[in-house]
Amino acid sequence: MTFCTVENLESRHGLLVAVRGVSLAVNEGEILALVGANGAGKTTLLRTIAGAHKPFAGRITFDGKDVTAMPAHKRVGLGIALVPEGRRLFTGMTVEENLRVAGAHGRKGSWTLEAVLEAFPQLKPKLKARAGDLSGGQQQATAIGRALMTNPRLLLLDEVSLGLSPLAVDQVYDSLRGLMSGGTTVILVEQDLSRALAVAGRIACMLEGSIVLEGAAAELSRDDITAAYFGLHRATELT
């Protein structure tokens, strides 16, 4: 069942077109990985779906409802949650306060403070610590936990491994595997192609604001994705 649909979406930063003519459908329970070089438009696409960036043109539907003009906080109420690049925590607040403030503004559901701490046990001894004093991995776990506290039906994860040590990335992904295997619909932006291929059922590669390759992860070779990633497929088409 198609759960979230983007149709001919265009998003801009001033005169710069960051997302151009993107159409994409995500099924309920699916894990879709968006890959592409820096500046390809991945973050802007996620932010537009979440309502944090206003589209210039196109349409976004979620569970059959047109949400194109809906503000971000109302999309959270419907079940769309974004873990932004850079985490964007309330650094002066404790971990517990960061989690509880999200829970107070989200949907009712199974993701409680206790459930988040079970998924991210590294946060248990840090509940009373200021978010700004945490390590990068602990901050990322807090950011994901904060999103889960809203009980999302669609979770948008933007560069969860960015700036983390390999060990911290392993810990974050170990915690995410249970979530992803539990049927949550996820759109994941990930620079690490190996990790994207390991967790996603489908891959979409962006280049210069457009989707240039899309398909089941099991059916796409690393060479195919790499060629699309760097625009090499265009050179091939022109020869």
Per-residue model confidence (pLDDT) at position 239: 41
Query: What is the domain-level CATH number for residue 210?
Result: 3.40.50.300
Residue 9 φ/ψ region, left for φ over 0, alpha for ψ in the -120 to 50 degree band, beta for the rest: beta
- Dump pLDDT digits (tens) for 189-239: 988 888 888 889 999 999 999 999 999 999 999 999 999 988 875 544 534
- Dump pLDDT digits (tens) for 13-50: 999 999 999 999 999 999 999 999 999 999 999 999 99
Give the C-alpha separation, 13 to 16, whole Å.
5
Per-residue model confidence (pLDDT) at position 15: 93
Residue 87 φ/ψ region, left for φ over 0, alpha for ψ in the -120 to 50 degree band, beta for the rest: left
Report the percentage of the chain scoring pLDDT > 70. 97
Per-residue model confidence (pLDDT) at position 85: 82
Per-residue model confidence (pLDDT) at position 235: 46
- The amino acid at 143: A
Mean pLDDT within 144-171: 88
Total domains in the chain come to 1
Per-residue model confidence (pLDDT) at position 158: 93
More confident residue, 173 or 156: 156
pLDDT band at 179 (very low <50, low <70, confident <90, very high): confident
Give the C-alpha separation, 197 to 190, whole Å.
10
Give the C-alpha separation, 182 to 204, whole Å.
22
Per-residue model confidence (pLDDT) at position 1: 60
What H or E segment, with its residue span, contains residue 11? strand 2-13
Per-residue model confidence (pLDDT) at position 236: 46
DSSP state of 94: B
| ∠ Cα 19 218 193 (to 5°) | 55
Tokens 């992803």 belong to 180
The closest of 213, 110, 206, 221 to 158, measured between CA atoms, is: 206
More confident residue, 182 or 234: 182
Per-residue model confidence (pLDDT) at position 234: 55
Residue 149 has pLDDT above 60, yes or no: yes
Per-residue model confidence (pLDDT) at position 107: 86
Residue 86 has pLDDT above 90, yes or no: no
This prediction's pTM: 0.91
For 164, the domain range is: 2-238
